[in-house]
Structure 1
Amino acid sequence: MSTYPVHTIESAPAQSKPVLQQLQQAFGLIPNIAGAMAASPVLINGFIGLFERVHASSLTEPQIQTLLLTNAVTNASEWAVAFHTALALQQGVHPADVDAMRHSGLPDDASLAALSMLARTLIEKRGRLAELDQRRFFEAGFSPEQLLEVIAVVAASTITNYTGSVTQPALETPFDEFAWQVPAP
């Protein structure tokens, strides 16, 4: 059992309530991960600011969900994998591509594969991309500015992935069918 409460709008610290209200409107529920983040107004307010900017970037929603799902798998965040599986499918990412990412593979879609590979490489190399890593991304049709946007997505997802690993929130019923566990070594 987690020692971290999953706050509701009523139980959250005052400075966290506006973010929870915003997430309730966006998703129709308050994701348990956000309820756990709400214990720290610093964390949840920092997260929502970056989250909003990520979703206002030049990347499409299917591209963003590809990045978020890849990051969740790479960071072994069980809650986030289930959540972003559902959102990726909702955004039209092909089920076979979603399944590939859930198994640490790459999507068949070349553009999504380039995004997924870059995100995984950023995480695994701690941001130290080789020139070849960058060139492959640019050859897939992305710009240097979009590489920087991918860094913002990785940062936003790292907040949720690490929060999920530390607080271990329960998975919400709508995402049960997408439950995922870290593969055994």
Structure 2
Amino acid sequence: MSLFTLPTIDTAPEASRPTMQALRENFGFLPNVLATMGANPVLLNGFAGAFSAYHGGGFDECERQVLLLTNAVTLRCPWTIAAHSTFALEDGMTVQEVDDLRAGRLPANPRYAALSRLARLILEKHGVISDREIAAFTAAGFVKEQVFEVILSVGLSTMTAATTNLARTPIEDHFRAQVPSAA
């Protein structure tokens, strides 16, 4: 059961409404986590700004989903695991790639493996990454500065996971088929 009432665009604070509307147009629906964030315009608008920057970066949609799903699994967040598994499949990742990430395994695709490995290390090692770990990332075809986009993915995932876990945000039907079995 949700700890907070999910505001709608009409019931959210005035400062959240334009952002909620824009996010609904972007997704085609308003995900429950964004409705939850809408109760606090500071969180919602901060998230939306970071989200926009992240999606304007140098990774393609599947690479972004590799990062976000890896983060969701590492953060042990059922809502984000279900959502990013769904989005990854919709964006063209294979079932095997999604299953590997959900199980904490590195995918066979070397670029996806490098992204997943680095994201997990950043979370587990609190950002203390060695030169060797960055070299493994760049050896997969990335430029060193893209490490900062991986950090942004970790920040977005942390905001989302903390919000959904704390608020006990309900998982919408659109993501239900991808809810982790332990959730």
TM-score normalised by the chain length of structure 2: 0.97
The equivalent of 1:48 in structure 2 is 48
Distance in 2 separating the partners of 1:135 and 1:22: 38
Moved more, 17-26 or 47-56: 17-26
Distance in 1 separating the partners of 2:27 and 2:153: 19
State the identity as a percent.
39
Q: How far did residue 3 of structure 1 move?
A: 2.3
The equivalent of 1:23 in structure 2 is 23
Q: How far did residue 56 of structure 1 move?
A: 0.1
Distance in 2 separating the partners of 1:76 and 1:182: 10
The equivalent of 2:162 in structure 1 is 162
Aligned in 2, Cα 1:125/1:181: closer, same or farther, shift over 3 Å? farther
Q: CA RMSD in A?
A: 1.1
The equivalent of 1:147 in structure 2 is 147
| Residue identity matched to 1:138 | T
Equivalences for 1:129-148 in 2 at 5 Å? 129-148=129-148
Equivalences for 1:4-153 in 2 at 5 Å? 4-153=4-153
Runs of 5+ in structure 1 lacking a partner? none
Q: How far did residue 169 of structure 1 move?
A: 0.9
| Residue identity matched to 1:62 | C
Q: Deviations over 1:92-129 (max 9, x none)?
A: 11110100111111111110010000000000000000
Distance in 1 separating the partners of 2:2 and 2:170: 9
Q: Is the 8 A contact 2:3 2:169 kept in 1?
A: no
Q: How far did residue 2 of structure 1 move?
A: 2.7
Paired residue secondary structure (2:84): helix
The equivalent of 1:2 in structure 2 is 2
Aligned in 2, Cα 1:182/1:127: closer, same or farther, shift over 3 Å? farther
| Residue identity matched to 2:71 | N
Q: Deviations over 1:131-157 (max 9, x none)?
A: 111111011111111111111111111
User: Any runs of at least 4 consecutive aligned residues in structure 1 with deviations exceeding 2 A, and if so which?
Assistant: none
Q: How far did residue 44 of structure 1 move?
A: 0.3
